[in-house]
Structure formats: structure tokens, C-alpha cells
């Protein structure tokens, strides 16, 4: 069988800066194995993400969190922040979420907002739900605004042969990175446990949590 070599949704070859993200690959492999999945993407709608998930039996929920980060961070009251988190996320459905794609967005949430958002997600998920996140680890700075991540991949007839993550940088301006430690994350995400973590080539740490 001849190999199909494509990066569907972007119509371009694998970008050289695309990240190897082994834990994301492990998620894709779980989806490939079958079953129906409910995926919550905290980022904006991306053609490539939809194209990628189109290969699987799934329902994709899109939160477009970047447009609400400022208001979430500005909310000082815990209860109000939780209420805001509820309104920011897509409306609850009868199906619990199985997988959450946070990309790099947790870096942009201050601790109270991070706690509220992840607690709200936990209320829509079920035990075993997987959460994927990229946390700035070694760098002191990060882009001032989050830029969307999206998968790029190659596939042959019945397998993904290469899956990576690419990122569109939205601004050259930078801000201080929170550099959340595993302890910080455990504190803010008390419903979740770290399943695996990997240091990536771009100075980020890739986390896979489970509920």
C-alpha cells in the first residue's frame, strides 16, 4: 500500500518547528484503538484539529478560552470565578468529557482562574478522563498572548506514522511565565493526578493528567 503523506487541514508538510509531543501521540493512539470519545478543546476552533479528530468517532467541544482569559483572571471572588468558568465552557451535555486538550492555555490562567476552570471541567468529566497540557518549564518568558496549537501528522493506510504539535505565535511580545511546578498544579487541580510528564525540546513540560 502506498503511503499517504499529508498534513490534513493545513495543506502543508510537517513544519520543522513542530514539536514532538509523545504524550499527545499516546492520546491519539488511544483514540485510534476505537470507541467513541468526547473531547473538550480549550483552544479556539482550528481546522487542523477538527481535521485530525475527524478521523475518529468523537464529539468535539470547543471552549475558545483565550477570549475569556482576561475576564477569568480579573475575577477575584472564588464563587464568581467558578460561575464565570461555567459560562465560558460549552454548555453541559449528557455525555461526560473523556479527554481535555488544554494546549498551553493553563500558563495564561492565574491560580484562582486555573482552579476554577479545572474544577468546572472535572464536574463535566468522569473518572479516568485524560487531560493534556503544555506547561512552560525552563523558560522565564512566554508569548504575551497564547497562540493556537494544532496537530500535524502523517498517516498511511491504517496508522498515524507521525503526529506532532505546531503552534502559531500571535505576538512577539513576551510576559513572565508562571512556570507552574507539579506541586502548583496538584494544588490548583486537586481533582486530577499526574499520569505522565515529559520535558519537550521547546522548554515546555508536557503533562498528562487523569481525573
Partner 1 sequence: MFDFNKRDAAAKDDDFYPNDEAAMETGSPQPAPARQAATSGRREAAVIGPSIHINGDLRGEEDLIIEGEVKGTVNLKHNALTIGSQGKVTADVYANSINVDGFMEGDLYGAERISIRKTAEVRGNIISPRVSLEDGARFKGSIEMDPESEALQKAFADNRGNGKTTAFPGKQAGSGDSKPAASPESTASSSPDTTAQAAKGGTAG
Residue that has been written with the C-alpha cell 499529508 in this structure: 6
Binding stretches for partner 1 (CB under 8 A) = 4, 6, 8-9, 11, 30-38, 44-47, 50-64, 90-91, 93-96, 98, 126-130, 155-160, 210
Q: How far is the CB of 74 from partner 1 (least distance, A)?
A: 20
Distance, CA of 79 to CA of 192 (rounded, Å):
20
Element (H, E) at 81: helix 78-88
C-alpha cell recorded at residue 33? 484503538
Give 198 or 210: the residue with its C-beta nearer to partner 1.
210
Residue 58's beta-bridge partner residues? Answer: 37
Q: Please say whether the beta carbons of 41 and 49 come within 8 A.
A: yes
Q: How far is the CB of 51 from partner 1 (least distance, A)?
A: 4
Distance, CA of 158 to CA of 68 (rounded, Å):
39
Q: Is 141 helix (H, G, I), strand (E, B) or coil?
A: strand
Q: How far is the CB of 29 from partner 1 (least distance, A)?
A: 8
Give 2 or 201: the residue with its C-beta nearer to partner 1.
2
Q: How far is the CB of 169 from partner 1 (least distance, A)?
A: 15
Give 32 or 74: the residue with its C-beta nearer to partner 1.
32
Give 3 or 175: the residue with its C-beta nearer to partner 1.
3
Amino acid at each position: 500500500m502506498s503511503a499517504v503523506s499529508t498534513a490534513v487541514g493545513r495543506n502543508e508538510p510537517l513544519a520543522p518547528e513542530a514539536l514532538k509531543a509523545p504524550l499527545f501521540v499516546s492520546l491519539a493512539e488511544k483514540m485510534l484503538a476505537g470507541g467513541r470519545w468526547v473531547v473538550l478543546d480549550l483552544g479556539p476552533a482550528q481546522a487542523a484539529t477538527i481535521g485530525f479528530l475527524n478521523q475518529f468517532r468523537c464529539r468535539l467541544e470547543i471552549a475558545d478560552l483565550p477570549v475569556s482569559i482576561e475576564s477569568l483572571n480579573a475575577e477575584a471572588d472564588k464563587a464568581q470565578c467558578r460561575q464565570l468558568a461555567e459560562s465560558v465552557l460549552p454548555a453541559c451535555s449528557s455525555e461526560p468529557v473523556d479527554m481535555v486538550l488544554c494546549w498551553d492555555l493553563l500558563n495564561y490562567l492565574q491560580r484562582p482562574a486555573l482552579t476554577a476552570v479545572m474544577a468546572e471541567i472535572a464536574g463535566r468529566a468522569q473518572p479516568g478522563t485524560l487531560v493534556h497540557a503544555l506547561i512552560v518549564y525552563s523558560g522565564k518568558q512566554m508569548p504575551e498572548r497564547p497562540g493556537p496549537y494544532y496537530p500535524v501528522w502523517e498517516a498511511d493506510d491504517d496508522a498515524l506514522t507521525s503526529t506532532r504539535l505546531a503552534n502559531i505565535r500571535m505576538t512577539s511580545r513576551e510576559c513572565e511565565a508562571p512556570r507552574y511546578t507539579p506541586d502548583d498544579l496538584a494544588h490548583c487541580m486537586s481533582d486530577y493526578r499526574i499520569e505522565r510528564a515529559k520535558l519537550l525540546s521547546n522548554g515546555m513540560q508536557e503533562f498528562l493528567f487523569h481525573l
